[in-house]
Structure 1
Amino acid sequence: MLKVLFVSSEAVPFAKTGGLADVSGTLPRALKEIGVDARLVLPFYRMAREQKFNYKLLAEDLEVTLGKQTVKGDIRTLLTEENDCLFYLVEKEEFYDRSNLYGTPKGDYFDNAARFIFFSKMVFALCEKLNFFPDIIHCNDWQSGLIPCYLKTVYRKDPRFAKTASIFSIHNVAYQGLFSREAFDLTGLPPELFSIAGVEFWGKISFMKAGIVFADIVNTVSETYSREIQTEEFGYGLEGILRTRKKDLYGVLNGADYEEWNPATDAFIASPYSLEDLTGKPKCKQDLLKAFSLSEELLSVPLLGVISRLADQKGFDLLAQIMDKLMTMDLGFVLLGTGDEKYNELFTLIGGKYPKKTGIKIAYDNTLAHKIEAGCDMFLMPSRYEPCGLNQIYSLKYGTIPIVRATGGLDDTIQEFNPSSGKGTGFKFKQYDANKLLKTIKKALTLYNDKGKWEKLIKNAMDADFSWKISAKKYVELYRKALAKLGNPGD
């Protein structure tokens, strides 16, 4: 049986700031279902502690070094059903008992380098303590980027890890874990690694670069994004290094957790519905309007929804430019999200300016997110870039038609609807431009009035399948490729 240790800085249901948590909470379980011994390790944040799960102390006072200091940490585990994944949580109150995962709205925590160097080293201490030496350590984003580097250097001659390969998944190359030269001294890595060929990046240490350079296989969360990050526009300075790994760089689309996101079984929505029976969807629209205290007059017009982090990356600069024009049209608009202060304020103002047509909630609310997916007619994702994106996949399942920019995973998951052939699942625009977005929304609004074609589009969308089982099998293929490089066939 293939043994995989999945390392992530966040995972549902323990702690979440973004899509990485959805992937990390779901992929190991999908791997387990196809016969992989997949186990998950993440930090034991306050957010995880507050979940009041049945945690059990597994190991205490494991020692690792941070620079010249010896630091101790504990490992908690979660008692789960017999066939579920094993979960390990790295406990150190001074590092992880905080109100947020990586920082406050004012900025990142000053000691993030130490927090995630410690986490990376504790992963190895955990393996040693449990006598669990995996075939694969699957690392995710900068927070675990040092682990492939440790495998290839510090643990290179350790026979217990000799056949352990690493995979490094990039969920967003813009967040790179860049720290000062002093942070390098905490790693315990050989001094020669602070170089262009190693982990140095413009005079700093880059945890993201460490993962890219030293992992056996690198992947991103969609085919298109794996190509995009090799270009100057999307590579955030790492495009040259990524091009050197071109032969080992793959794209695997994220899957959707259809156990949670399925209108036929969703406990958060007013009425269940399915591909075979859509009668519940209008009831969900009615319930959503009520949740936002909007008039039922909007039942007869298209309702557009947004669930997102409010940031430039997500295309809110484009949306801001067209909101006044949108409000002259026959439609309603609801938004759920929080993020950059400028957008929090702007959309609060828009809500005040157009109270009869808009519902704005500056927060994250999981129940309301489900209601938006079920109750809207269309879903907007005009992202500047989008490594994969999950909400457009959820929208498909709920028959809520995605209007997206053709980038990254949005381009890979949404097929432009062709009214003549009746094929396609949504609407796309290529150029990052507010007028192009507006034109695409108008195109969708026109089709909405053709009830026959619109229903065909809804059924196409709901019929699309992006289950984790498909993605899990592709990851197993990548694990085999990584092991082949080490001459380990994997069981």
Structure 2
Amino acid sequence: MVWNLFFHGVENGKNGWWAWGAPAILRRVNRKSNKRNGVPPSDGKSLRVLFVASECAPFVKCGGLGDVVASLPKALRPLGVDVRILVPLYDSISRDKYRLEEDPPCLVNAGRGEMNGCGVWRGRADGDVPVWFIEHDRFFARGGVYDLNGAEFSDNAFRFGLLCMAAAQVCRDRGWIPDVVHVHDWPTSALPVLLDAWRNAGTPLGWAASVLTIHNQAYQGYYHPSVLDYLGLGPEYFTPDRMESWGKINLLKSGIVFADAVTTVSPTYAREILAEPGGNGLSGELVLRGPDFEGILNGADYEVWNPETDRRIPATYGANSLIGKGLCKQELQSQMGLREDASVPLFGMVTRLTSQKGTGLLRDVLPRVLKERNLQIVVLGSGEPADEAFFCELAWAHPGRVGVEIGYSEDLSHRIQAGSDFFLMPSLFEPCGLSQMYALRYGALPVVHATGGLEDTVEQYNEGEGSGTGFKFYSAEPQACFDAIAWAVATWYDRPSHITLMRERAMQVRFEWEASARRYVDIYRRVALKRAGGG
């Protein structure tokens, strides 16, 4: 086995930068050079784009990030983009189930002279998108993605730092140099910084442009500055205008500062995080990005989420015939231990049980709603122990009316969408949200706090006309949340014809990926051309 070494660190020499490059030799590079060293960008349609992320459905998914990393590349391929995905090979990913094939391994040369051997496996995501999986048991064979039983892994910056460095090595070993590297949230936000360092060293991959998509700005990745040594980054990067925040490194901030373009997942969320408190301390950095920051609404994958063809639900149905939806409701009531009664409105929730998702509101609201209104509730999710305990106690206190499943099941999530009459999302903030898009398609009318993507995708019910696709409340207060749920229940009983009209309208709404994918292609071309020109 011949191991190829790729530059992963720099030292400041007297007249330039010392850079490590294959095959394990030192060479001096003029630090003032802004040329791409003979590596031209791909032209037009043949853009090469590498997605580097911590999640990708169906292999590993903790939330909407995994769906987007799978769905957006699928939409980019018909537009002529040569797109590939690179993610960790967690021990939860079955090589046999997904028919993964082993590739030649790679050797990642981290800072401090540390060598990390990594296995490389390849597979295919939906839409025939190539996926590389990085195997490194010390970091990824732990039974969790970011944490285990609620305890965050303290070395996450090192774990995902290795992923970022391995991405470079895999591309170099295979002779596939991307024009654009698209990173997602804090786990891979170090990669734009590394590209800057590699660019200074004159390496080919350093001239790849980078795009960062923020899926949730509340999670930023604060870690001890010792990770800089591991990444091969010098102290010049540990400054307030670069990676430093409150004496630590802030990975998301680093990506915002160094990426060639920054996007987030809905127009409304983009506006919210340009100011505080929505910006969680990073609004200033985003404001400085000016036109290089924008919100692009996520799309839904309607090949996966389609009640007319969904094999995960008891009966299929469409907007013109809802008989199947009635059967799905009956089966869901039976599965979750609820009283089987078609006349009672059923509210579904599939969510992380955390304060961001509005669990604090629901602690105040749901006991009162169940006391004063006739409805049923089904919950699927996991998260904070106190929130899990609350919902379990709620089910115990209201047998036949509340059903709770702690954990996550893809099958059950589809069944809840299909069997629910309403879908509850009282998030304090919601960058985009995909569940409400799925709910619309399945005729489960969303009841949502009008924030972020929920504001962008749900049309408020008009009681006078019977129009709209859901029920929105505009203040993150218990009374406002209660009123919205009560409004939906009242409409169910008092204006059933409006429920029918809203369902028909909701099921015809589409948030396709194509338009958003085209906007991303425009961004990729812009930043790739800028980098190719030495910008």
TM bin, normalised by shorter chain, reads: over 0.9
Q: Does structure 2 retain, via aligned residues, the 8 Å contact 1:14–1:51? A: no
- The Cα of 1:327 is off from its aligned counterpart by 1.0
Supply the distance in 2 between the matched residues of 1:336 and 1:460 (Cα, whole angstroms).
26
Tell me the alpha carbon deviations over residues 287-337 of structure 1, each in whole angstroms, 9 at most, x when there is no partner.
1111112222x3111111111110100001111101122112111111111
- 1:112 paired with 2:151, answer no
Say if 1:158 and 1:421 are closer, same or farther in 2 by CA, change over 3 A: farther
Determine which of 363, 382, 399 is the counterpart of 2:443. 399
Paired residue for 2:272?
228
1:469 maps to what in 2? 514
Give the aligned partner of residue 77 of structure 2: 32
Distance in 2 (alpha carbons) for counterparts of 1:405 and 1:106: 26
Distance 1:79 1:167, change over 3 A: closer
Q: Note if 1:14 corresponds to 2:62.
A: no
Does residue 301 of structure 1 match 2:321?
A: no
Kept in 1, the 8 Å contact 2:196–2:206? The answer is no
Out of 184, 189, 198, the position equivalent to 1:140 is 184
Match of 2:360 in 1: 317
Measure, in 1, the Cα distance between the counterparts of 2:97 and 2:326: 37
The alpha carbon displacement at 1:19 in A equals 1.2
Q: Any conservation in 2 of the 1:56–1:79 contact (CA below 8 Å)?
A: no
Equivalent positions of 1:221-300 (< 5 A) are: 221-296=265-340, 298-300=341-343
CA deviation profile, 1:447-467 (whole Å, cap 9, x unmatched): 223122111100111111112
Structure 1 pair 228–80 and aligned structure 2 pair: CA distance change class (3 A) = closer
Q: State the shift of 1:159 in Å.
A: 5.5
The aligned residue for residue 208 of structure 2 is 164
Equivalents in 2 of 1:31, 1:419: separation in Å?
Answer: 40
- C-alpha distance in 2 between matches for 1:310 and 1:12: 20
AA partner of residue 219 (structure 1)? T
How far does the alpha carbon of each residue in 1:194-243 deviate from its partner, in whole angstroms, 9 at most, with x for none? 10121111111111111100001000111111111122211121122122
> In the alignment, is the contact (CA less than 8 A) between 2:195 and 2:207 conserved in 1?
no
Which residue pairs with 1:206 in the alignment? 250
Please list every run of 5 or more consecutive structure 2 residues that lacks an aligned counterpart in the other structure: 1-45
CA distance in 2, matches of 1:34, 1:187: 35
| Inter-partner Cα distance in structure 1 for 2:292 and 2:301 | 28
Deviations 1:245-281 (A, max 9, x none): 1321111111111111111011121211111222211
User: Residue 232 of structure 1: SS of its match in structure 2?
Assistant: coil
Q: Deviations over 1:64-106 (max 9, x none)?
A: 214331222222112689x711110111111111111111124
Q: TM-score of the superposition, structure 2-length normalised?
A: 0.88
CA distance in 2, matches of 1:54, 1:324: 47
Counterpart in 1 of 2:527?
A: 482
1:457 aligned residue:
502
Rate the CA distance shift 1:350–1:122 in 2: closer, same or farther, 3 A: same
* Separation of aligned partners in 2, 1:300 and 1:416: 24
Q: Secondary structure at the match of 1:309?
A: strand
> Tell me, what secondary structure is at the counterpart of 1:67?
helix
CA drift of 1:5 comes to 0.5
1:338 partner letter: S
- Please point out which of 42, 50, 65 is paired with 2:87: 42
- Asked if the contact 2:199–2:207 (Cα under 8 Å) also holds between the matched residues in 1, the reply is no
On the 8 A contact 2:445/2:469 being kept in 1, the answer is yes
Provide the rounded CA distance (Å) in 2 between the counterparts of 1:171 and 1:146.
Answer: 16
1:172-198 CA distances to partner (integer Å, 9 max, x unpaired)? 111111111212221111321110121
Judge conservation of contact 2:305–2:438 (CA < 8 Å) in 1.
yes
- Give the AA of the match of 1:189: L
Q: How does 1:95-106 map to 2 (within 5 A)?
A: 95-106=139-150
* Equivalent-residue separation in structure 1 for 2:190 and 2:404 (angstroms): 40
Residues 346-365 of structure 1: pairs in structure 2 closer than 5 A: 346-365=390-409
- The alignment partner of 2:443 has SS state of coil
The residue number in structure 2 matching 1:386 is 430
Q: Which residue number in structure 2 is paired with residue 176 of structure 1?
A: 220
Name the amino acid aligned to 1:460. Answer: R
Q: Using the TM superposition, give the Cα deviation of residue 488 of structure 1 relative to its aligned residue in structure 2, in angstroms.
A: 5.9
Q: In the alignment, is the contact (CA less than 8 A) between 2:111 and 2:233 conserved in 1? A: no
CA distance in 1, matches of 2:382, 2:172: 41
- 2:211 partner amino acid: I
Separation (CA, whole Å) in 2 of partners of 1:85 and 1:488: 29
Residue 64 of structure 1 contacts residue 118 of structure 1 at CA under 8 Å; is this kept in 2?
Answer: no
CA RMSD in angstroms comes to 1.7
Code of the residue aligned with 2:58 in structure 1: it is P
Contact (CA 8 Å) 1:163, 1:488: kept in 2 or not? no
Do structure 1's residue 89 and structure 2's residue 133 form an aligned pair? yes
Answer yes or no: is the 8 Å Cα contact 1:66–1:118 preserved in 2. no
Show the counterpart of 1:56.
101
Amino acid of the residue matched to residue 165 of structure 2?
Answer: K
Alignment pair present for 1:335 and 2:335 = no
Contact 1:66–1:114 (8 Å) recurs in 2: no
AA in 1 matched with 2:487: K
Which shows bigger deviation, 63-72 or 193-202? 63-72
